Amino acid sequence: MESDYHRPWTSATPGGLQVVIPNFKLNNGLEIPALGYGTWLGLNEKGEFIVEDAPKLVDALSYAIDVGYRHIDTAHLYRVEPEVGSVVKQKIQEGVVKREDLFITTKVWNSEHRPEDVEKSVKASLRRMGLNYLDLVLMHWPISVSAEGVDEKIDYLDTWSGFESVLKQGLVKAIGVSNFNVEQLTRLLANCQVVPVVNQVEINLNLGQKELVDYCQKNNILVVAYTPFGRMVPSRLDTTCPAIRHDDPIMLDIAKKYGKTVQQVALRYLYQRGICSIPKTLTKTRVVENASIFDFQIDDADVATLREFDNNYRTVRPVFWQNFNNYPFDKVNVDITEIPLSLRKWKNGANLDID
């Protein structure tokens, strides 16, 4: 995947602070910043959406645009499309950006997999964000699940025809997929009219997914990494799993060598693999830190060391779907829990009152 250093996405705050983020070129000729701002606020231990963090998201996203972020990743599921739209509108009104400066991605949820429902979903996202078009829309999962939690068994090829339709209508500039495995991508490429520009999947030091990344890059599909830190950040720490920790001595040594943080090393490693990342944070210092990875190069020896952390450990594993058609991951021997209501039915916005 080509990286373009000639047209960096950059800006400056009134105080002069700025980050410079290079671009990747997509297979349709469009450019996407190599690092974006992720807007998933997450669920609490009860499986409820953490709506109380929405104001923090607005503040952090606004700051991110001020300092130079131009790539925003959201989804219908995330509930925050209205907040994303309000920040974008404000920044355009302030003259910080023009609409065409931004690359905005959203996703169609599992309950909207019928071709006609894809169009309804995209139009609803546009309405919630107050936009005339989207830069990229992804099929969030290859699985089709009704709001009642029933496996609808809709073929993702049929769903993809709906994506091709919204592209043809000009509602979106690019279409892609998320959480597709090699087998599913192979079948999609053999039966589609438009090749997806992106496959957004979990990629981090513990889950390198070399086969999938190699396949995507061979077919000129950009890999976008969600959960790029895995469980490395302290808030995700789980001492019962084999994931790398933020205080791992090997990581600390490598970070010290380059004068960076362990999180910056993790993001830079993905970038050097030709992978775009969408880290999320509500902390302004982290906003700048995450984007300050384009001024150093990890040497080959350290790349080899980092590669050794790959142990195929998934941070995101929705086992409640694993017996559904088109579940993309390997199955594990666990008790299957009920699909959380928060992944089936919801309203949008900080007050959870917007359809």
| Four-CA torsion 97, 103, 109, 114, nearest 10 degrees | 110
Instruction: Return d(Cα 230, Cα 225) in angstroms, integer.
Output: 10
Of 132, 212, 128, whose CA–CA distance to 178 is shortest?
A: 212
Per-residue b or e along 115-127, where b marks 16 or more CB atoms closer than 10 Å to that residue's CB: bebbbebbebbbe
What's the number of CA atoms in the CB half-sphere (13 Å) around residue 38? 22
All residues at 6 or more sequence positions from 288 whose CB lies less than 8 Å from its CB, including other chains: 17, 19, 67
Q: Could you tell me how many residues make up the chain?
A: 355
Instruction: Return d(Cα 204, Cα 147) in angstroms, integer.
Output: 31
Is 78 part of the annotated catalytic residue set? yes
- What is the distance, to the nearest Å, from the Cα of residue 166 to the centroid of all Cα atoms in its chain? 20
Look at the alpha carbons of 208, 203, 200, 10 in this order and tell me if their dihedral is positive or negative.
negative
All residues at 6 or more sequence positions from 307 whose CB lies less than 8 Å from its CB, including other chains: 208
Look at the alpha carbons of 153, 157, 163, 169 in this order and tell me if their dihedral is positive or negative.
negative
Instruction: Return d(Cα 207, Cα 185) in angstroms, integer.
Output: 19
From 78, 215, 313, 327, the catalytic residue: 78
- What is the distance, to the nearest Å, from the Cα of residue 34 to the centroid of all Cα atoms in its chain? 12
Exposed / middle / buried, residue 54 (Cβ in 10 Å: 0-12, 13-18, 19+): buried
First to last CA, the chain: 37
Report the SS3 class of residue 145: strand
Task: List, by residue number, the catalytic residues.
Answer: 78
